[in-house]
Structure 1
Amino acid sequence: MAENQEVPEEIAALSFEEALQELEKIVEKLDSGQVDLDQSIDIYSRGSALKQHCEGKLRNAQERVDKIVNKNGSLSTQPANVE
């Protein structure tokens, strides 16, 4: 899944925590070697969408924090490295 593709609605509806938990389960399945090739490809694709969703949530949270800090004056921010 390319980074600029839209995240499926069912994934977009997940909270960050839910998406991260599902992504962790996918990684465990892939690491176990107990899934066949076709299933591996399917769950890898879903994992990619979950990763994209989590990164978007983190970027949004960082932007919100930056706005709060900037509104309060003297504190400065540094860009977050979410990649």
Structure 2
Amino acid sequence: MSINTDLKFEDAMQELERVVLELESSNVSLTRSIELYNRAKALHRHCDNIIKKISLNIELIDSEKGKPIEDEEQ
């Protein structure tokens, strides 16, 4: 199951929370549970990738030893 790469971290986390709540409900069929599990795994992977990119960006900023950060839009 693929995730829209433009999906913001916060939106992905909210959707993941909704998926977990539905999974925890007692009236979910096995087929639906598998669909939800696959969606949850995809959302988790998407969020994890965002966190990894942010961590790399922070490491890059820290490695510049206090140099001013250039605004990319200029």
TM-score over 0.5 (shorter chain): yes
User: 1:25 — aligned with what?
Assistant: 18
Q: Aligned residues: percent identity?
A: 35
Match of 2:49 among 50, 56, 59: 56
Larger deviation, residues 62-71 vs 27-36? 27-36
User: 1:45 — aligned with what?
Assistant: 38
* Count of matched residue pairs: 66
CA RMSD of aligned residues (A): 1.5
TM-score (norm 1): 0.72
Answer yes or no: is the 8 Å Cα contact 1:23–1:50 preserved in 2. Answer: yes
- How far residue 43 of structure 1 moved from its aligned partner, in angstroms, is 1.0
- How far residue 13 of structure 1 moved from its aligned partner, in angstroms, is 2.3
Structure 2 stretches of 5 or more lacking a match?
67-74
TM-score (norm 2): 0.80
Structure possessing the higher radius of gyration over alpha carbons: 2
